């Protein structure tokens, strides 16, 4: 299949990239991993006149610790993300999500930033990132802004990115001592899958055995954007974690989901699966919390 014609730009610094973007008056797309954009262009769903590749912008490919925070460059690939020690140790939900995205071949190309700005309702990374309270940095020619990822995604393929802006990094705060996260995805096959439903969770406990101080439950593929289930979070907060609580949270999450019928699954099934996957993802989070505590103690 043929790609439409376009002009190609390949800046080497973020500053240069921002300058190029602000200088082009015609429809432009930013090319990162290309696993979504190039497919859409081949299908004729996108035909930008310009592509600005971020592939040579080194500063976007780094993951660095900055005090209490971890800053993930937007162009870190999904496979690279999984190799990061901090992600393996402290962000289990994100680690799982990164391992379930597409296929190993796709994960070597697709970037963390790309999985965010394409704003696909079934995407694997935004739910766990939102669960961990990620913020993102947006840079443009004359400035930058930081906002929460949760506020950034507006609808299928829609974000609050402004013309000329580049998503440059994702910032995760180091999770507190007694905390954990989870991610459960349901597809038909075990690889090359689009989520029918996915759920990411995170909670922090007051002490080794609770109560839950703070919780986030994020539902994917059951609405135009990842959805925070405030009802589930409310049920969890202040309670001691156990199966019964998780089940109640699952029921509540299903009430916050806004699934639709499409050719992949019915709304009814998705709603049922939100209950189940929320419960499972909360269980994972609890397991991780216990594991992290044990690891630290050791």
Partner 1 sequence: MKTMINLTVNGTKHEAAVEPNRTLVDFLRYDLELTGTKKGCDMGECGSCTVILNGKPVNSCLVLAVQANGSEIMTIEGLKTAEGLHPLQKAFVEKGAIQCGFCSPGMILAANNLLQKTPTPTEEEIRTALSGNLCRCTGYQKIIEAVMSVDKQDIP
Partner 2 sequence: MTTYSTVNSRAPRLDAPDKATGSAVYIDDIRLPGMLFGAMLHSPLAHAKILNIDTRGAKRLSGVKSVVTYEDTGLIKYGVSPARYDELLFCDGKVRYVGDEVAAVAAVDLETAVEALSLINVEYEELPAVLTMEEALAEGAPLVHDEYQRNIGAEVHHEFGDVESALAQCDLVRTDTFRSKRQDAAFIEPQGCIADYDGRGYLTLRSSTQTPHYVQRTIAMVLGLPIGKVRVVKPYVGGGFGPKAAANAMEMAACLMSMKTGKPVKMGFTREEVFLHSRARHQFVHTLTTGVKKDGTIVALKNECYLEGGAYTSFGIATIYYAGSLLGGPYRLQNMKYDGYRVYTNKPACGAQRGHGGVIARAAWEQQLDRIAEEIGMDPVELRLKNMMEAGDVSCNELKMNSLGMRECIEAVRDGSGWKEKKGRLPKGKGIGMACGFFVSGAGFPIYRSDTYHATVSIHVSEDGGTVHVYTASAEIGQGSDTAFAMIAAETIGIPLDSVMISSGDTEFGIDLGAYSSRQTLMTGHATKEAAVDVRNQILAVMARELKVDISELDIKDGLIVFKHGGVDFSRLRARYIREHRGWQGIARGNDPLTFQEAARIAYLARGTIIGRGKYKPAELGGSHKGAAVGTSPAYGCSAQVVEVSVDMETGRITVEKMTDAHDCGFAINRTSVEGQMQGSLSMGLGEALYEEVKFDEKGRILNPNLGEYKIPTSLDMPNVNPIIVESHEPYGPFGAKEVGEGAIMPTIPAILNAVYDATGIRFQELPLTPERVFMALRAKKQKP
Q: In what order do the strands lie in the sheet with 197-205?
A: 179-186, 197-205, 212-220, 227-228
Min separation Cβ 121 and partner 2, Å: 15
Binder of partner 2 out of 122, 130, 170, 186 (CB under 8 A): 186
Identity of the residue, 2 or 244, whose beta carbon is nearer to partner 2 in the bound complex: 2
What is the spatial distance between Cα 274 and Cα 276, in angstroms, rounded to a whole number? 5
What is the spatial distance between Cα 215 and Cα 225, in angstroms, rounded to a whole number? 19
Binding segment for partner 1 (CB under 8 A), chosen from 160-168, 190-198, 213-221, 278-286, is: 190-198
Task: Give kind and range of the element (H or E) at residue 15.
Answer: helix 14-23
**Residue 7 interacting with partner 1 (CB under 8 A):** yes
Beta bridge partners of 64: 71
**Residue 296's closest CA among 217, 180, 203, 134?**
180
Give every CB contact of residue 77 below 8 A, 6+ residues apart in sequence.
33, 107, 108, 109, 110, 111, 112
How many other β-carbons are positioned within 10 Å of the β-carbon of residue 178?
20
Identity of the residue, 112 or 149, whose beta carbon is nearer to partner 1 in the bound complex: 112
Identity of the residue, 97 or 210, whose beta carbon is nearer to partner 1 in the bound complex: 97
Q: Within 119-178, which residues bind partner 1 (CB under 8 A)?
A: none
Contact 156, 45 (CB under 8 A): no
**Residue 62 interacting with partner 1 (CB under 8 A):** no
Min separation Cβ 35 and partner 1, Å: 5
- Pick from partner 2, partner 1, none: which does 196 bind, CB < 5 to 8 A by kind? partner 2
Min separation Cβ 141 and partner 2, Å: 34
Min separation Cβ 190 and partner 2, Å: 4
**Residue 85 interacting with partner 1 (CB under 8 A):** no
What is the spatial distance between Cα 182 and Cα 277, in angstroms, rounded to a whole number? 10
- Pick from partner 2, partner 1, none: which does 105 bind, CB < 5 to 8 A by kind? partner 1
Interaction site with partner 1 (CB under 8 A):
1-8, 10, 31, 33-35, 38-39, 42, 51, 53, 55, 79, 102-106, 108-109, 190-192
């Amino acid at each position: 299949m043929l790609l439409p014609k376009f002009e190609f730009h390949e800046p080497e610094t973020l500053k240069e990239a921002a300058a190029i973007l602000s200088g082009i008056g015609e429809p432009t797309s930013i090319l990162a991993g290309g696993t979504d954009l190039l497919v859409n262009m081949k299908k004729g769903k996108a035909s930008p006149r310009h592509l600005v590749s971020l592939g040579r912008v080194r500063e976007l490919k780094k993951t660095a610790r900055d005090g209490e925070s971890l800053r993930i460059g937007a162009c870190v690939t999904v496979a690279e993300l999984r190799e990061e020690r901090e992600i393996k140790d402290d962000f289990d939900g994100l680690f799982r999500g990164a391992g379930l995205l597409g296929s190993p071949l796709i994960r070597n190309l697709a970037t963390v930033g790309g999985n965010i700005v394409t704003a696909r309702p079934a995407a694997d990374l935004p739910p766990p990132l939102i669960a961990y309270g990620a913020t993102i940095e947006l840079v443009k020619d004359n400035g930058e802004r930081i906002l929460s990822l949760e506020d950034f995604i507006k609808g299928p393929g829609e974000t609050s990115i402004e013309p000329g802006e580049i998503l440059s990094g994702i910032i995760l705060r180091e999770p507190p001592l007694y905390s954990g996260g989870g991610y459960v995805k349901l597809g038909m096959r075990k690889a090359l899958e689009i989520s029918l439903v996915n759920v990411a969770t995170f909670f922090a406990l007051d002490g080794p055995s609770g109560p839950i101080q703070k919780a986030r439950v994020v539902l994917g593929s059951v609405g135009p954007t990842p959805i925070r289930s405030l009802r589930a979070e409310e049920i969890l907060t202040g309670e001691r974690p156990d199966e019964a609580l998780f089940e109640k949270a699952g029921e509540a999450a299903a009430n916050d989901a806004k699934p639709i019928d499409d050719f992949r699954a019915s709304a009814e099934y998705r709603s049922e699966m939100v209950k189940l996957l929320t419960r499972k993802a909360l269980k994972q989070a609890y397991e991780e919390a216990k594991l992290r505590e044990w690891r630290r103690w050791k």
